[in-house]
Amino acid sequence: MIDTHCHLDSKEFKDDLEDVIKRACEAGVEAFVVPSTEPANIAACRQLSQEYENVYWAIGIHPHNAKEFTPEVADKIQKELEQKDGKLVAIGEVGLDYYYDFSPREVQKEVFRTQIQFAKNFNLPVIIHNRDSSADLLSILEEEQDGRLRFVLHCFSESKEFMEKALELGGYVSFTGNITFKKNKLQDVVELVPDDRFFLETDAPFMAPVPYRGKRNEPSFLKLVAEKISEIKSISINKVIEMTTKNARQFFKLLIISLLLLSPLMLKAQEDTTDEEIYEKLYKKFIGIGGEFGFNTLVIFQSWNENGVVKERSSANEGKFLVGANITFSPVDWNILRLEWTYTFDRRKPDTLYPDLAYIYRTVNFTSLFLINPSMRVNFFG
């Protein structure tokens, strides 16, 4: 399992953080994503990722603290992103919160848009907070979605209609302990969410699931969220864990070396996971081998010297059968390499005047395609 949203930098964990992480690993959690929320805790989140191999972090300013987003803070975030830290996997926690209005709404929207631009510029996903701001949030996402925006609505608590609109924009949703509450209205949402578009999270130390509601939440409780999803969707908990772990790895591009040796419980939960899924590289590569067949039109132009006279002729031979093979390789998500060999045979009888003319044609082509924007569903090659 991957806890895609937990605040391990919180003061609630200052006395026993190491034990909290140990308990989580023993319960089957293999990685944690810790988002910053204010300028003051950016360094702490980064530090956690440096101290613990299985802790990753996100950088962003929460809507509560949007009024603190000064040019100096923007510059600080820019510099952090320019470091190309492999443990920095997202922009977040960012978004809108009209329930408390700790920051003016116009300021929240401006800061949200600015941080979305950071995400696009550095090809990172966005972890989004939304409370009582659905209309404005959706409007901003629609305006900003140009094929480069990847986002997850964390601690999802909205309607299925809102979820469907977010999914249409390419978004994901993440469920936490609130789906275990007695009076929650999320069952239809959990039932309808596609298997490849949701994650697990605790939002620790907040949002503790039943039976720990009202107490400090921690990542070791993540399995309770998975169990509730398993119950609602009528599938095995192992299936829920397998799906959400794969989704999170791909979304955050996590480089995870399995920690299965730390926990027999984790081993049980991941028993059907392949070696390829356990270790996923930052860039997805693929190689393919294919065959080709079709029809070719041969246009031949010939020039020769005959007794001091230059003679020329041309001919077009249509419908000549072509066979071939190709190898396609993508070393990174924005580049596709292709090596192609083709063979065409002209079955005409040899020319009586010029019997040495070739009637077998072989070609070798090498192509390098550059994708202008790999994250777009419809792309353009250069």
Q: What tens digit of pLDDT does each residue of 68-92 get?
A: 999 999 999 999 999 999 999 999 9
Lowest mean pLDDT among 104-108, 198-202, 287-291: 287-291
274 with 192, same domain?
Answer: yes
pLDDT value of position 294: 78
pTM: 0.68
Q: Residues 56, 22: contact at Cβ < 8 Å?
A: no
* CA–CA dist 5, 33 (Å, integer): 5
189 with 155, same domain?
Answer: yes
58 with 173, same domain?
Answer: yes
pLDDT value of position 277: 33
Lowest mean pLDDT among 58-67, 69-78, 254-263: 254-263
Does a structural domain hold residue 192?
yes
Separation in Å, CA 253 to CA 92, 120, 124, 158, 171: 15, 15, 9, 26, 16
Q: What tens digit of pLDDT does each residue of 20-34 get?
A: 999 999 999 999 999
Boundary-marking domain end, from 261, 278, 295: 278
Closest C-alpha to 116, from 92, 147, 84, 85: 92
Boundary-marking domain end, from 258, 278, 298: 278
331 with 255, same domain?
Answer: no
270 with 133, same domain?
Answer: yes
* CA–CA dist 266, 196 (Å, integer): 21
Closest C-alpha to 149, from 172, 133, 131: 172
Q: Residues 61, 38: contact at Cβ < 8 Å?
A: yes
Which CATH number fits the domain that encloses residue 146?
A: 3.20.20.140
Average pLDDT of the residues in 210-224: 97
pLDDT value of position 108: 98
Instruction: Report how many domains make up the chain.
Output: 2
Boundary-marking domain end, from 278, 302, 317: 278
pLDDT value of position 319: 61
Q: What is the mean pLDDT of the chain?
A: 86
359: helix, coil or strand? coil
Domain region containing 97: 2-278
Q: What tens digit of pLDDT does each residue of 339-369 get?
A: 888 877 665 555 555 555 556 667 888 888 8
Q: Burial of 360 by CB count in 10 Å (0-12 exposed, 13-18 middle, 19+ buried)?
A: exposed
130 with 14, same domain?
Answer: yes
pLDDT at 260 over 90: no
pLDDT-based confidence at 295, cuts 50/70/90? confident
